Structure formats: C-alpha cells, structure tokens
Chains A and B, each alone.
Chain A
Amino acid sequence: MKKVITLFLAAVMLFSCAVSAAAYDNAELFAGLDTEYYTRFKDAGISINVYNWGEYISNGEDDSLDVNKAFEELTGIEVNYTFYATNEELYAKLRAGGASYDVIIPSEYMIARMAKEGMLEEINLDNIPNFANIDPSLVDMPYDPGNKYSVPYTWGTVVLVYNTWLVSEDTDVETWGLLWNEKYKNNILMFNNPRDAYGIALKKIGFELNPENTEQIEKATLALKEQKPVVQAYVMDEIFDKMGAGEAAIAPYYAGDAITMMDENPDLAAAFPREGTNIFVDGMCIPKGAKQKEAAEMYINFMCEPEVGAANCEYIGYSTPNLASMELLDEEITSNPIAYPPVEVIENATYYELLPDELNKAMDDGWKSLLADDENFTFWLVPAILLLSVLSSISIVVRKAIRKRRQYY
C-alpha cells in the first residue's frame, strides 16, 4: 500500500513539475518584445548587479511574475539582486566603495545628490526605447533635467494614514496638524528619518517642504520638539506592525505602503493634507564604474516594458510612471485615489530638492537633539575625559606589572 502511495506521489510531483515548467515559459510575455535587442548578449556570460529597495520588485510570490527570472531567461544575462532599506544606506555603501553595482534605484533627492557628486553614469536613452512609455509629466523634472541619469521606476506621495476606529469622525484629518493633536497623545507615529520628519514639520508651521535657511530648520526643530510628547514612537518599517494591529491611530507614510496596510487592516484610511505633501519618484540609475553599462540599460528597458511595469506595480502597490503599464492594470488599482491622486493634490505636492551641505548638517543636528536630550558641555570635556581614561588604564597596567615584578624578588 505504501509503495502505491509513494508511486502516486512521485507521479503527482512529476506532473506538477511539468505543468509549472510549461506555465513558466513566459512565452506569452516575450511574444511582443524586440527579441533581437534583448538577445544581443545571450551567450556572453554576462551578469549584472542590481541593488534595489527591499520588497520593491515583483518576485514570483503569490502567482506574480518573477521579473528577474524572466529577464534572465530572455537575455541570458544573470541578475544578482540585493537590497537596501534607505537612500542613505545606498549612498553610504556607494561612497565607501568596494562594491560594484550596475543598476540602483534611489529616490529623486538622492539622484540629485549623487549626480552632483559625480556618482552616476549618464544613461544613453537611445538604448532604452521604452522610455517613450513614461508619463511626460514625470519626465525632465528639476531633480534630473533631461533625464540624463535616471529613468522613473515608481512614484508616490506621503499620506496621512489613520485608524477610523480610533480617530473620531469630527476630527480634521486633512492637515499635518493632526500629528500634533493632543487628543491622540501617544497614539501618533512619526517618521524615523530626518528628511521626511522635517518636511512635515516645515509644512505644518507654514514653510515650504524644502527649507531655505537654517532659521527655518531651527523653527521646525522646535515644532518637532513640541510634538515629541504626543508621539508614541519614531518608526520606519515597524509601522506595518503597529498600524496593522491598531497600536497607533495616526501615522504619515508612503502611499504605496499605506495601500498595503489598508489591505491588511480595513479600519485604516488615508488622507492628503491640504497644506500639500511630498511627491517622490524612485528612478533607475547606473552608478559610476558600472561594469556592464549596456546590459544595465537593457535591464532598465526591460523594467519599462508594459507587462513588466504592470506586474511590478501590482505587486509593490506603488504608482507606475509607465502609461503603457497603466493601461494593463486593473481599473480597481488605477482608480484608487491614494495611488493615483487627483490633479489638485499632485499640483500642490512638492519634490524634495537637493539641500546645501550646511542645511543637511543643521537638519541632522536638530534631529539628534530631538531624539537625544541635549545638554551643553565645554569643548574640552570629552577629550579630557578620554585622555584621563587612557592614562588611568595605562597606570593600572603599569601598577600591575610592577607588582608582578615585586613578586619575583
């Protein structure tokens, strides 16, 4: 009996393998593509290193398209895919050197910063025919004039996520002031990164999203300090857990992730503050020193294929800049006002601009003083303490040695 079952199981497994192999031919996807273009490097044994955000590509889970695998199958180029958590982490990694990447996907303010510091390779748009699919309203933006360095991958806005169960109906949710509302003391989450937190604080006190001088930053720091008593926690990805469980009532976050949260917890809703919000674009770039520039451009072009772009956006929940992909997406997705907000919201939204070094520094200093109670000490205090520490360490060692020698005699 046992044997029969094993045989049966083996047969089932074989059969299912055959089925999945047949289904996984991607023939349908490849049919409309320019195979001549994509198979140029077929037998060259090339591999490219792609460095992207975590959970930021359709990866074959839940019957989605495995984009990297399809690319490998089509072009014969191997994809080494790794990921990072923040723009700053990506920047630090590239600045430190040692690692070589061919495609990276930073946000627009980081693209501007990297381009300014000469960390990006110019992209040859002739090699990316699918660039024509990109929404003209997202092309040639101030962060990258003429799209010399980047091809938009996704875009989105920052929204206020709130729990309809915990936030009373008469509360005005369409304002950043909601995050300062005493009524929700200890029920408010805030961004745990200075740029986003300062953007909100600046907007709340009536300035622009991009600070113009250190004075504005100081005022924003004061506003954030004033907010601190009502904030439950400063979070990034922990927000999924906390908002999902109803642990907090209000939080600002990225629209794409807000949609993911709302899918998981139907009590959640999102609103656009009328002061105006931040609009961001994550763009595909090629870092300086990339070894396989043409293959990288091919990868970028592949990501702009209508089907691929649609699969990605369906999976990650962010908005697509690809008009051809948008046509393929479900009505349900494209009509979602959080992912594709009305024109007024977009017009009222601002991009982050590249800040001069002194403003970046002022922002970081303010952020640190916000999270760590600031107390003033004199200039020489720490060097003196450290010197004292070293001296006393040495004296202890010396004393020990002397005592040891005494024992000999």
Chain B
Amino acid sequence: MLKIDLDACIGCGVCEANCAFGAITMKDGHPEVNEKCTLCGTCVDNCEVGALSIEREAKAGQTDLASWSGVWVFAEFRRGRIAPVALELLGAGRGLADTRGVKLAAVLLGSELGGAAAELIAHGADTVFQVDDPALAHFTDDAYGNVLADLIRAHKPEIVLAGATAIGRSVIPRVATMMGAGLTADCTQLAIREEDGALLQTRPAFGGNIMATIVCPDTRPQMATVRPLVMKPLTRDAARRGEVVNVAAPPERLRSRVKVLDSVASEGEQANITESDVVVAAGRGMDGDKGMALVKELADALGGAVGASRAAVDSGWISYHHQVGQTGKTVAPKLYIACGISGAIQHVIGMQSAETIVAINKDPHAPIFDVATYGVVGDVFEILPKLTAKMKERKGA
C-alpha cells in the first residue's frame, strides 16, 4: 500500500495533481489515498520531500520462476494462411529472446497446416510446436485453449505473445486464467527489464490518454497481446533452420462445447482499410453526413479507403469497420489524411505507423499536429472540396 509520512509531508498537493487515477485527495493539508490507487508509483517519483513510499505485500506467487524459459508466439492460422500478426510477433519475439538468451518458439494450431511451420521458421522461429488436427479446423476457445495450456504446462515458456485479433483476444485470456498468469492486452511496446529480465509491457490506458508499463513479477508465463501492424516482421529468410515438433493432442482435450456451424468471409469493405495505401479519415470535426461525404469524395479521388475516429463511429456517421485506433483497426498506409480529428492517443495508436500523415483541423493546438508530417490549420469544409478538386485535376492532367 501507499505509505504517507505525515512528518515529512509539506502538503504541497503535487501528488494529488499528478495522480492519473484520482486516488489521492488532499485533506487537512495532507494527502489521503483511496481505493483507486494502483500503486503505480507516479506520486512517489514526484514527491520532492520523499514523504511517499510503497510497501508491497509479499505475494503468494509461484516459487519456481527460474525454471520457465523461452519466448513463445501463438501463430494464428485461419483459412489456410498464417495471420500476418504472427509474423510481426516473431519479429518482436526474436528481439526479446535474443536479449534473454533463450529460444523463440511458435505454436501453430489448426488443420491441414501444410508448409506453415516452415514459414514461421523463415520468419524467426527456432522451434514450431505444431498440432495438426481436424478438430482444430475452426477456432473454438475450448479446444484451442486446452491445447495451448497443455503445451505451456509441458514446456514452461517465460513469455507468451499473441495477436490481439478476435481469436487471440478470445483464447489468450482463457489460457492466462488457466495458468494463473498475468496478461496485458494490446501492448504497443515490449522490452526486457535489465535488472531481472522481466517483460516490460507498455499499453495505452484510460482510452489512450496515458501510457502504462506493466510487469508480472510473480507469475509465469508473462503473457501479452499485441495489435496487428504494431510490430515489424523480420525479412523472410528461407535458409533459416529450425525444428518442427509435431504434437498429438488427446481427444478429450480437443472436444469443444462450442461448434462452428458456418464460417463466412466478409465483403471487401471491411478489409480494405488495413490494406489500402491511402486512408482518409474523419473525426468529430466532420460533424455528420455532409462532412462524411467530403471525406469520401477525397478518398475516392485518391483511390483510398475511408477511416474514422471513435468519435465519428460513436456518433453513428460510419460503421465500426472503419474505426482506426486502439479499439478499432491499426493501419499503416503510405498516406493518412486525418480530417477534423483531434488526435487522442487512442486514435494515434492506430495510425502512427503511416509513412506520411497529413492533419487538417481548425484547432491549431489539436494534438494530431504533433504526429503529423504536414499540418494544415483550417476549416475542413473549405479545404476538403478544394483539395479534392485539385487532386482530380492532377489525375486528369
């Protein structure tokens, strides 16, 4: 718990002002801490007189932490192909494994896996644990969870990474619960802490208004999910050598209480926002259907897709499939044009990997300009039609 040394405290209130969780209130000239405190330590760092300290209770955690070793990546496989995020995670996992001096393994579950294991090795895996069984043809959280947990119990990796996809976000929390392990969702950075080799998992918190770094000091494996397009894959190297371990799962572990009756691949509309070279995105500033039409026209003129901030989606101007950001899709196009988007970190996380970012906003202080390559302060309703006309003109010329 947070300890307050009342003799040392000078009642300056810096701790209250800097607490992102609203856990500290000043009363009678001294801070009082409430149940919102997460022991993040920000106040301790900020206290100039050293009046604050954190006392952690010893946890009844696992005792054999040192016997866990290796970095694992859950390699999602669906409709006959490896999810791109798995290769991205191998890229990130390779770095972590090298820092720790351990092996990098991929776990490949599915049916008719073909040459997928070789592909994972070419992208950085030292080992691939492969379970190829018709019972795994479709994703069910039961069977996938059981098989993955059994493998983890048998081989005891210290780190398990998975893509924050619909599948990853369904099965990984289940596995973490089975293992009694900590899990951090949607990490944007992963690193190894020098002192003790712990995995530092950084993710946005509070709708992306702040970043939080999280560790799991007392439990193994350390588990994290990462959104697609956040990490970079290694260059494919067919000469890389690795080991494929075929594992047969017992039938009772493959039995699922969930049956997939049909699996429908969707209309192209959903996909093209993550694959398009150009994304023109609309935010709250587009103010309804009329504004959305302007964005669409510019996107059409540039041959791009339409994206949107959470605010635009929540206002019902466009469907969720177009949402870019922490709770939407991550995109990394050649050109991203943010129109009337203020640039809350929740949105920026989803588009900051774009090569060129153009921001158009009437508020010169909008945070979107901080990530922009080119910023234009002005009225989107004036600028967009003119820009669209200009771009059409050039195309025609």
A binds B: no
What residues of chain A have their CB less than 8 Å away from a CB belonging to chain B? none
